[in-house]
Amino acid sequence: MKKILVTGGTGYIGSHTVVKLLEANYEVVILDNLSNSSMEVNERINFLANKRFDFIKGDIRDKKILESIFKKYQIGVVIHFAGSKSATESDINPLEYYENNVIGSLNLFKEMLKADVKKIVFSSSATVYGEPKEKKCKENFPLLPTSVYGKTKLIIENILTDIQKANHKWKIINLRYFNPIGAHPSGILGEDPKNIPNNLLPFLTQVAVGKREKLLVFGNTYNTFDGTGKRDFIHVEDLASGHIAALKYLEKVDEINMSFNLGTGKSYSVLEIINAFEKCSGMNIPYEIVDKRLGDISELYADTSLAKKILGWQAKFNISQMCEDAWRWQKMNPEGYSTASS
Ligand code: UD1
């Protein structure tokens, strides 16, 4: 059986996906430089799935490592998560983002070509749409990312499109994630930002566990019912299932180059999320309304009909399950993955 190479497989979405892959009896090789994760994640994947997989510590910018992986293993498909993911940081360090995300991906695609591996599921983002005119976002909307991070995702999608144009045998699926939150229902895997969290849920759970004093709500004058920003939050377990659905679809078709929104199709405001979290955790979340964050948009949610129609996939978890799982993870791992060793 050919193996699946998962770049960035110890990251937040990567690790949840690897567990599902192993549970579905796929053979997995992870390549990860551990820049935003840790070896502990491997232990936990192993514990949850109870199956063997190979882990290689390395960087997609390192051509030698990539070459050796494609030589050593019979790879059938690549699921490509590896990359830097903070929009804010990307605008401060654009070169680092272009190098890590774009050059790294180019290296990967070149080695795939050399090894005759032509199937890839790429981890893209709803951020490629920028701020569309309509809030309910379809895959064929204009692609106008504003952050460098979003631009790197779009560049990679475009590179893949050109590769497929040159050789129709390539099979490509881009998955455009909306706002991933939640954690593995066991509380054993979750999101573990290394620095101060940029995103809403990790910040909120750190307030709940007492690591931070209060949540800052970025603006309450958006054109939404309560003035706070609205997003399509999706459980990371649903995203992981989306990758399995994409993989199955790749195996079924002769050629494909498509992008799919992975969201729930519903949006919740920041205040609604605080409320949902307070209900499921029984905690009171102190918060303060502050200025809008530069680059934020008022509202975005996915039109999910394409993924449903083509991949037969749709999100299953609701907002309280997402909050419950995020809270269980944070409670069980107040220091994230270093909790085990501390
Ligand atoms: C962010 C990234 C986006 C990335 C996505 C998923 C930015 C500008 N965009 O999107 O590129 O794909 O994460 O990882 O960083 N909020 C607060 N207080 C906080 C944090 C967030 O009020 O401490 C609000 C935001 O203003 C927003 C909502 O919560 O309205 C969601 O924010 P966040 O979780 O950062 O996601 P996005 O901004 O949608």
- Whether the predicted pLDDT of 1 surpasses 90: no
In angstroms, the CA 319 to CA 305 distance is 20
Q: Which residue among the candidates 149, 177, 249, 301 is catalytic per the annotation?
A: 149
Beta strand spans in the chain (E): 3-7, 28-32, 54-57, 75-80, 119-125, 136-137, 171-177, 179-181, 215-218, 230-231, 233-235, 256-262, 268-269, 287-290, 299-302
In angstroms, the CA 167 to CA 26 distance is 26
Residues of the chain with CATH 3.40.50.720: 3-182+234-263
Q: What average pLDDT does range 49-57 have in this prediction? A: 97
Instruction: Assess whether the C-beta atom of 200 lies below 6 angstroms from ligand 1.
Output: yes
- Whether the predicted pLDDT of 342 surpasses 80: no
Which amino acid does the sequence have at 120? I
Answer yes or no: 149 catalytic. Answer: yes
Which residues does 165 contact at the CB level (< 8 Å), separation at least 6?
Answer: none
Residues of the chain with CATH 3.90.25.10: 200-231+266-309+319-332
pLDDT tens figures, 278-305: 999 999 999 999 999 988 999 999 999 9
Give me the architecture of the 200-231+266-309+319-332 domain, per CATH: Alpha-Beta Complex (3.90)
Pick one of 3.40.50.720, 3.30.450.20, 2.40.340.10, 3.40.190.10 as the CATH number of 3-182+234-263.
3.40.50.720
Q: How large a percentage of the chain has pLDDT more than 70? A: 99
For ligand 1, mutation pick of 147, 175, 293 (most atoms within 8 Å of CB)? 293
pLDDT for res 341: 54
For ligand 1, mutation pick of 84, 178, 199, 230 (most atoms within 8 Å of CB)? 199
| Cα 88 to averaged position of ligand 1 atoms, centre (Å) | 10
Considering the chain, what is the average pLDDT of its residues?
A: 97
At residue 55, the 3 state secondary structure works out as strand
Instruction: Assess whether the C-beta atom of 141 lies below 6 angstroms from ligand 1.
Output: no
pLDDT tens figures, 178-216: 999 999 999 999 999 988 999 999 999 999 999 999 999
Nearest to 31 by CA among 105, 139, 102, 90: 105
Is the pTM above the cut of 0.95?
A: yes
